[in-house]
Every structure is written in structure tokens, then in C-alpha cells.
Amino acid sequence: MFAAMTISRPLTTALLGGALLALSTLTPAQASEDLARKKACLACHQVSKAVVGPSFADIAKKYKGDKKAVDRLAGKVRKGGGGVWNMPMGPMPAQGQVNEAEAKQLVTWILATN
């Protein structure tokens, strides 16, 4: 049979600390790009070119300086929206898999993409 393996407290602390350090080295931009990938945003949008929807760079340019953009666009991510970009595929459908905090994080990242 296998012997039980024990790990000393200092080693456990060092391993946990190393894992936390690795996670903390992700920049907000990397974290948001990973979130965009995880939430399937990149299926219809790209950073610098329009695909099914407008590029993130075009969105950032359009809403530059708009102090209400984060809240307004986060709402459109979650509830859907249209009538702004005149894209051939029509309005963006609601993204129910994205919660409010994630939507704001994504929009903040998108608006910084310029």
C-alpha cells in the first residue's frame, strides 16, 4: 500500500505563496483578455478588427471620454443591444453568462484598448 505523504507547514506555506504570486503577476489587461476569451466575447469581437461585431479598438474610440460608458455598455453586454454600429448580423444578443462585475471589468478593459 501507499504510505501517507505529509508536507511540512513551511513547505505548504511556500507552495501556496508561490501559487498566489504567480496569480498576482497577471496584469489587469491579461486578466481581462482571459475573461473575454472565457466568456466567448472573442467569438464575435477582436481587439483591432471588426468581425461579427465592432472591434474593441473601435468601441474604445467611439466612447472615449464618455464617463457613463462603462455602466451603459456593461448593461448592453448583459441585456443585449443594437442600433449603434449598423453591423450586418444585427444587434448583439444578451450575454447571460456574464455577471455585472465581469461585464464592468470587460468594458473597462475594452475602453482602455486604444
Could you tell me if residue 17 is inside a domain? no
Could you tell me if residue 10 is inside a domain? no
Q: pTM for the whole thing? A: 0.72
Tens digit of each residue's pLDDT (9 = 90 or more) over 11-50: 545 444 554 444 444 455 567 899 999 999 999 999 999 9
Could you tell me if residue 79 is inside a domain? yes
Q: Residue 103's domain is classified under what CATH number?
A: 1.10.760.10
Q: Closest Cα to residue 103, out of 53, 39, 37?
A: 39
Could you tell me if residue 16 is inside a domain? no
Number of domains in the chain: 1
Could you tell me if residue 11 is inside a domain? no
Could you tell me if residue 81 is inside a domain? yes
Residue 85's domain comprises 29-111
Could you tell me if residue 46 is inside a domain? yes
In sequence order, which residues have a C-beta less than 8 Å from that of residue 103 and are 6 or more positions away?
A: 74, 75, 77, 78, 95
Give residue 58's Cα distance to chain centre: 17
